Amino acid sequence: MSVLVYCEVSGGSLKKASLEALSEGKKLAGALGGSLNAVVVGSGLDAHIDAIKNHGAETIYVADSADHENYVPEAHLTAVADAAAQASATVCLIPATTRGRELAPRVAVKLDAGLIEDVTGLTGEGGTVAAIRPEYAGKVYRSVKANTLPMVVSTRPNTFDAVADAGAGARVDLSLDYSAKAKVVETRKAGGEKIDVAEADRIVGGGRGLKEPENFKLVEDLAETLGAAVAASRAVVDSGWRPHAEQVGQTGKVVSPTLYIAVGISGAIQHLAGMTTSKTIVAINKDKDAPIFKVADYGLVGDAMEVLPALNAELKK
């Protein structure tokens, strides 16, 4: 029995979601009575090996080559399958990022294993894997167990704690034989040093209550003061005020930051679906009966255009 965690390096950095998966994998390996191992694919990976080791990996399978500077889905798939075979992995954990969402199902096919996606809870009692996953955009939770092993499980980012706990970290280099029927030819970073909504620890979300796109400047200013990412409701995304990458909700991103400030957002069920697992929710809305107040820990009834500058000034004090 062993657990294998896919560690994602993209844009030159090791994703925090990978460390979260390693820590969860360590617990799972303990419960199943096996070892924790990791696999990482990319170029210039030496810089990331220590972090993987320090989060509990006993063996680290490394596919490092200049060919992997850009993402080649089939290469990552082959690497995970190779590492899973070498480590006799019974459970493969993959963070449910954009990449993980496509990789996990393909690894499941390659290993002829079952798949449990985007889990928010994971246990390994009784020699098998059981997990909890939100469905219907978090309106209900399903508890699922594996009928057979091996099993591929993807873990929801920002849900599990990353805990340092060093493992042996023995390095095994992989040489890969794959066909590249699809490959990334260009990567573009979002403007400036913007924090991505899906990864942000603090988020300020704006909705139609901001009245016009220019007023998002107030949201951006507050976000900057807080070191937060800007999010948007679908109403303003559909109006073309904000890009879809910022949309939170059932047909946008599901987020669980420490702090979510909803400004001029009514709190439609599809929006709530994307953010009610946030730790602390603040709502600023002119209508005291807006549904958003039902999920907000702290509500402030008022005009966003007046409250936002005042809030920003108060925080800077």
> Which CB atom, from 56 or from 232, has the smaller least distance to another protein?
232
Q: In what order do the strands lie in the sheet with 151-155?
A: 114-119, 151-155, 91-95, 2-7, 35-42, 59-64, 170-173
Q: Is 138 in the site for ligand FAD (CB under 6 A)?
A: no
Nearest approach, Cβ of residue 271 and ligand FAD (Å): 3
Among 12, 33, 125, 136, indicate the residue that binds another protein (CB under 8 A): 136
CB-based contact 275:255 (threshold 8 Å): yes
Task: Encode burial over 172-187: b for 16+ CB neighbours within 10 A, e otherwise.
Answer: eebebebeeeeeeeee
- In angstroms, the CA 221 to CA 225 distance is 6
- For the segment 269-298, give every residue that binds another protein (CB under 8 A): 269-270, 273, 276-277, 279-282, 288, 293-298
Structure-derived torsion over alpha carbons of residues 194, 161, 15, 158, reported in degrees to the nearest 10: -50
List the single partner that 176 binds among another protein, ligand FAD, none, CB under 5 to 8 Å by kind. none
Pick one of 50, 135, 165, 212: the residue that binds another protein (CB under 8 A).
135
89 binds ligand FAD (CB under 6 A): no
Q: Does 234 bind ligand FAD (CB under 6 A)?
A: yes
Residue 139 binding result from ligand FAD, another protein, none, given CB thresholds of 5 to 8 Å by partner type: another protein
Q: How far apart are CA 93 and CA 31, in angstroms?
A: 15
Question: Should residue 252 be labelled a site residue for ligand FAD when binding is judged by CB under 6 A?
Answer: yes
Distance CA 91, CA 149 (A): 7
Burial class (CB in 10 A: 0-12, 13-18, 19+), 227: exposed
Residues 6+ apart with CB under 8 A from 133: 116, 117, 118, 119, 120, 141, 142, 144
Q: Which stretch binds ligand FAD (CB under 6 A): 40-48, 159-167, 191-199, 284-292?
A: 284-292
Q: Is 236 in the site for ligand FAD (CB under 6 A)?
A: yes
One-character DSSP codes across 22-35: HHHHHHHHHHHT-E
Q: Which two tokens stand for residue 166?
A: 């060093």
Residue 285 as a binder of ligand FAD (CB under 6 A): the answer is yes
Give the footprint of ligand FAD on residues 258-277 (CB under 6 A): 264-266, 268, 270-271, 274
Chosen from another protein, ligand FAD, none, partner binding at 121 (C-beta under 5 to 8 Å by type): none
Among 2, 18, 35, 250, binds another protein (CB under 8 A): 250
Q: Which is nearer to ligand FAD, 24 or 118 (CB)?
A: 118
| Bridge partner list, 261 | 204, 282
Using rule CB under 8 A, residue 125 touches another protein: no
What is the identity of the amino acid at 83?
Answer: A
User: For another protein, which stretch binds (CB under 8 A), given 56-64, 102-110, 169-177, 211-219?
Assistant: 102-110
Query: Which positions from 163 through 202 interact with another protein, judged by CB under 8 A?
Result: 181-190, 194-196, 198-199, 202
